[in-house]
Structure 1
Amino acid sequence: MTERDVPAIAVIGAGYWGANHARTLRGLGALVAVADRNAERAAAIAAETGTVARTPAEVLADPDIDGVVLALPPQFHAENALAAIAAGKHVLVEKPIALKIEDGEAVVAAARDAGLIAMTGHVLRFHPAFEGLMDLIDSGELGQIRYIHSHRVGLGKFHPENDALWDIAPHDLSLILAITGEEPSRVSGEGTAVIDHLSDFAHLHLTFPSGLRGHVFTSRLNPYRERRLSVIGDKAMAVFDDVAPWAEKLQLYPHRVWREDGSIHFESAEPVYQPIPEGLPLTRECAHFLHCIKTGEAPRTPVSDGLAVMRILTAGMVRHQS
């Protein structure tokens, strides 16, 4: 690593999300280059962020660059992650880290053998509302978690190689895996293609070894936008609603459900909005990447987490309707 207070990071991939990474890393004082196979696009983002445009090969060959962020079309993530690791670079790979299990396994193994920091871009793990949700769970406020369901729907984006399941579901699967601390023992799913051969809607049903159940619904062809994760415990329920105003993003519902005299009774309650500190998840994620590079601390979202999500995605699409 170079003798800098802040690690030197290059962004490879100057599309929409790569540009966001570049702006964020510039704000953190870590950005030193932007690269893309489209030289004009790289030059535009480099000019905007006050850095230099370089080719991916130049970035990997530069010993003064400590790490790279890979924000590419997902079919290119694995090969570029392996090349970066081989060049001695720490990596933050956007999701999904690969499209084939064996490629994801290769990335995990290469990073482990090289002793390098390798993160998956599961940005919502760094959202203050999700961190607050984890605090509620860890404190026992919700009791034993019985069921988790997520709805992540909206209009677009449409990718030529990526369907609604692989593009959208990793967000919520990463959150569910963080909550459960275990991978599901059974996965079933169904996708529906409307526009062309790629699924525009996808459902996943998850059963975990502990008995907990989960459900994920994703759509990129929906008339309204929803980003909601609901966690059902035997004491209370909670919702992380990323579309809600900041003060209402984390909601605790102290509902009661109980058995008495052979019947099931319930009392509903109004949501109690939980205070959460403001902060941009991407900024927090990038800052965590820099911290791990400097300290050697294991990242919160290692590439092994990305591989676990891939295993669910691969197992889930057993049926496809068009």
Structure 2
Amino acid sequence: MIRVGVVGVGMMGQHHARVYSELAKEGKVELVGIADINFERAKEIARRFNTTPYPDYKELAKERLDAVSIVVPTSLHRQVALEFINRSINVLVEKPIADSIENAEAIIQAAEENDIILMVGHIERFNPAVLKLKELIERGELGKLVTISAKRVGPMAARIRDVGIIIDLGVHDIDVISYLFGEPVRTVYARAGNVVHPAGVEDHALITLGFEDGSGIVETNWLTPHKTRTLTVVGTGGIAYMDYIEQRLKLFNDEWVKDAKINKREPLRNELEHFIECVEEKKTPLIDGYAGLHALKVALLAQKSARTGKVMEVE
């Protein structure tokens, strides 16, 4: 049985612990322990999900784990991930993979040298609506893709401390749009600013992504009082409207309007089950380190574009 742990049990990390505890009840994993610098928080979550709390992730790393979810602030991803990777423990690190290209590459290199599974937690790839949309695109239901536009807006999340809106939220749709086009982003241009946050921490952005024969647009902010998570895909054969939250997908063409049949399911559950499957079967995850690196590169270039006013080439 796969022995798992979780480092960081804040807003998102507690849900990793919850899903693993559900999988443990089904006999699919053993939740060995959770670690958090806030030990009172760790003890509270450990009691809730029947596992062992640790005040230091290095102590958890000694517990013969097979896999770990790292759900700590982005600036800490490298140091925490390397602790587990260098012990040959398979790692799922929450998106973005790191806070810099250098740190992301260090994580990827260490994973390859230790021959372990490295997965990046781009959760929207496991949203049933996104998976259905990808299936319909590949089947040719929308013809050749022309544009994909995303809106990811809402109030500020109290959990965010160390990154701006592009890295925290925009990176989701950067990854999804690239995935749906089936190719990497080639150019990026962005406008961004800060209304209620300090200089250097953007809280709203509009990002334009260039592909070989199409374009993507990401609108994101922490200023809208209600949460919206939508995606629109325009193709030569039709248009699709998707709602991430409701997991709904509607297709239009010249002849009909129809709703896609979607088996709704928690994306995080899908994601963690995929991670465990990859660990068990030693197979490459849907979101490996290089996919996470590409999304990070584009997000960082979007920030640079917003500062300089220039279109950036993605290498």
**Alignment-derived partner of residue 306 in structure 2:** 319
Q: Distance in 1 between matches of 2:265 and 2:187?
A: 36
1:173 equivalenced with 2:174 (yes/no): yes
Q: Distance in 2 between matches of 1:319 and 1:129?
A: 31
Q: CA deviation at 1:181?
A: 2.3
Q: Distance in 2 between matches of 1:10 and 1:223?
A: 35
Q: Distance in 1 between matches of 2:85 and 2:241?
A: 38
Q: Distance in 1 between matches of 2:59 and 2:157?
A: 31
**Alignment-derived partner of residue 225 in structure 1:** 227
**Alignment-derived partner of residue 84 in structure 2:** 84
The aligned length equals: 298
Q: CA deviation at 1:70?
A: 0.4
Q: CA deviation at 1:59?
A: 1.4
**Residues 82-161 of structure 1: matches in 2 within 5 Å?**
82-158=82-158, 159-161=160-162
Query: CA contact under 8 A between 2:207 and 2:218: conserved in structure 1?
Result: yes
Q: Secondary structure at the match of 2:61?
A: helix
Query: Counterpart of 1:207 in structure 2: which amino acid?
Result: G
Q: CA deviation at 1:270?
A: 6.8
Moved more, 73-82 or 85-94: 73-82
**Alignment-derived partner of residue 164 in structure 2:** 163
> Structure 2 unaligned runs (5+)?
309-315
Q: Secondary structure at the match of 1:162?
A: coil
Structure whose alpha-carbon radius of gyration is higher: 1
Query: CA contact under 8 A between 1:192 and 1:320: conserved in structure 2?
Result: no
Q: Distance in 2 between matches of 1:160 and 1:70?
A: 17
Q: Distance in 1 between matches of 2:173 and 2:186?
A: 17
Which 4+ stretches in 1 moved above 4 angstroms?
none
Q: Distance in 1 between matches of 2:134 and 2:213?
A: 19
Q: Distance in 2 between matches of 1:242 and 1:205?
A: 20
Q: CA deviation at 1:185?
A: 1.7
> Structure 1 unaligned runs (5+)?
257-268
Q: Distance in 2 between matches of 1:297 and 1:217?
A: 34
**Alignment-derived partner of residue 309 in structure 1:** 295
Q: Secondary structure at the match of 1:116?
A: coil
Q: Distance in 2 between matches of 1:36 and 1:274?
A: 41
Query: Counterpart of 1:27 in structure 2: which amino acid?
Result: E
**Alignment-derived partner of residue 35 in structure 1:** 35
> Could you say what the CA RMSD is over the residues aligned between the two structures, in angstroms?
1.5
**Alignment-derived partner of residue 205 in structure 2:** 202
Q: Distance in 2 between matches of 1:95 and 1:78?
A: 12
Q: Distance in 2 between matches of 1:240 and 1:104?
A: 31
**Residues 227-242 of structure 1: matches in 2 within 5 Å?**
227-242=229-244
**Alignment-derived partner of residue 213 in structure 1:** 215
Query: Counterpart of 1:319 in structure 2: which amino acid?
Result: A
**Alignment-derived partner of residue 265 in structure 1:** none
Q: Secondary structure at the match of 2:12?
A: helix
**Alignment-derived partner of residue 8 in structure 2:** 13
**Alignment-derived partner of residue 284 in structure 1:** 270
Q: Distance in 1 between matches of 2:172 and 2:87?
A: 29
Q: Distance in 1 between matches of 2:147 and 2:306?
A: 23
Q: Secondary structure at the match of 1:301?
A: coil
Q: CA deviation at 1:81?
A: 1.1
Report the TM-score when normalising by structure 1: 0.89
**Residues 62-77 of structure 1: matches in 2 within 5 Å?**
62-63=63-64, 65-77=65-77
1:25 equivalenced with 2:20 (yes/no): yes
Q: Distance in 1 between matches of 2:83 and 2:206?
A: 34
**Residues 45-56 of structure 1: matches in 2 within 5 Å?**
45-54=45-54, 55-56=56-57
Query: CA contact under 8 A between 2:34 and 2:51: conserved in structure 1?
Result: yes
**Alignment-derived partner of residue 300 in structure 1:** 286
Q: CA deviation at 1:271?
A: 4.0
Q: CA deviation at 1:157?
A: 1.1
Query: Counterpart of 1:70 in structure 2: which amino acid?
Result: I
**Alignment-derived partner of residue 187 in structure 2:** 186
Task: Please list the CA deviations of residues 214-250 of structure 1 after superposition, one character each: whole Å capped at 9, or x if unmatched.
Answer: 1111111113321011111100111221244x5xx11
Q: Distance in 1 between matches of 2:82 and 2:46?
A: 24
Report the TM-score when normalising by structure 2: 0.91
Q: Distance in 2 between matches of 1:278 and 1:185?
A: 33
**Alignment-derived partner of residue 311 in structure 2:** none
Q: Distance in 2 between matches of 1:52 and 1:311?
A: 37
